[in-house]
Every structure is written in structure tokens, then in C-alpha cells.
Amino acid sequence: EAQVTQNPRYLITVTGKKLTVTCSQNMNHEYMSWYRQDPGLGLRQIYYSMNVEVTDKGDVPEGYKVSRKEKRNFPLILESPSPNQTSLYFCASSSWTSGVGDTQYFGPGTRLTVL
């Protein structure tokens, strides 16, 4: 089954404790992206990646890191989480066809609480 998986689905942590949220897709997609969803703000892009070893900042990259060492995986790293990073996070992937809007497939989400 074609899917995007994220782990963990729920995480409660404390300020300053490094954490990683994993994202994996089995559709051989070139493009992957991370979003955060906050009430009243909709979804905002954190980082995206066009392909292996190619990443770029989205609208709200501060406090986050990403890496793309393999095509299927795109982990989101919070080196020193803070309470304002409490949010619902989504990973997404799509195939890359230049000049055409491709459908993005979303993971189920990770609800993160930073105390």
C-alpha cells in the first residue's frame, strides 16, 4: 500500500531535549516536505526536499533541521525544542514533474507537546 508513515504519532517532551520525528514514504517520490498545523494559522511549510541531499527552507524553518540521505526518508530534527514548537506536524511527499502541480500525499501526523 502506498503510504507516508510518521513516528511517533504522539510525543510529550521537555524544553531542550533533542528529538527526531521520522518520515518515510514507499512511493519513490523525489519531493518531500514538513508542515506544522496550528489553530487559526492553517498549515505552514517548515522544510522541503527536492531529492536526496537537496533541502531548502520553507516559511517557518527556525528551530528545525532536516536531512535527506535516502530518497524514502526525511526526518525532522528539533535540536532544542521549545514550547512554541508544540504543534501538529505533517510529512508529505509527491513525485516531481517540472511545471505541473503534483498531488502531495500526507502522513497521519505527529502531535508534539513541549513542556
Partner 1 sequence: GDSVTQMEGPVTLSEEAFLTINCTYTATGYPSLFWYVQYPGEGLQLLLKATKADDKGSNKGFEATYRKETTSFHLEKGSVQVSDSAVYFCALSDPLSTLTFGKGTMLLVSP
Shortest gap between Cβ of 108 and partner 1 (angstroms)?
5
* Residue placing its CB nearer to partner 1 in the complex, 82 or 96: 96
Burial label, 78 (beta-carbon count in 10 A; 0-12, 13-18, 19+): buried
33 binds partner 1 (CB under 8 A): yes
**Interface with partner 1 in residues 35-74 (CB under 8 A):** 35, 40-45, 48, 50, 58
* Residue placing its CB nearer to partner 1 in the complex, 79 or 99: 99
Decide: helix, strand or coil at residue 84: helix
In DSSP notation, 35-47 reads: EEEETTTEEEEEE
* Residue placing its CB nearer to partner 1 in the complex, 31 or 78: 31
Shortest gap between Cβ of 110 and partner 1 (angstroms)?
10
Number of helices followed by number of strands (H, E) in the chain: 0, 11
Which of 63, 73, 77, 106 touches partner 1 by CB under 8 A? 106
Decide: helix, strand or coil at residue 8: coil
